[in-house]
Amino acid sequence: MQKSIIAILLLSSAAAFANEAADEQANRTAFSGSLSRAEVNAGIAQAKADGNLRFDEYASNQQKADGSSRSRAEVRGEAIQAARTRVIHEQM
């Protein structure tokens, strides 16, 4: 009885692993490209030259300065003073 249960479990696990192997093979086939590495690198170089490729997405996501005339120290001082006088809590 126990041997048959163990045999059934082993066969079912083997089928699951066989399915994973088939999935991996299908993925390799689906995602294999038709361009060589040199062709891809040439395309990247051309896109850089044309200005169509941005590598620095961090810089493009930065917020623009609002043109405030106050310095950071002035704003910080105002925040500290507001916290001391509890003006912040009254506004909330």
- Position 90 in a domain: no
Domain that holds residue 7: 1-32
Domain-embedded: residue 21: yes
In which band, very low, low, confident or very high, does the pLDDT at 71 lie, cut at 50, 70 and 90? confident
Number of domains observed in the structure of the chain: 1
Q: Is residue 53 assigned to a domain?
A: no
In a domain, 23, yes or no: yes
Contacts of 79 (CB under 8 A, 6+ apart): 88
Confidence (pTM): 0.31
pLDDT in tens, 27-38: 777 677 788 889
Does residue 9 belong to any structural domain of this protein? yes
Residue 44 lies in a domain: no
Instruction: Say how far apart CA 3 and CA 33 lie, in whole Å.
Output: 47
Domain-located, residue 49 = no
17 in any annotated domain: yes
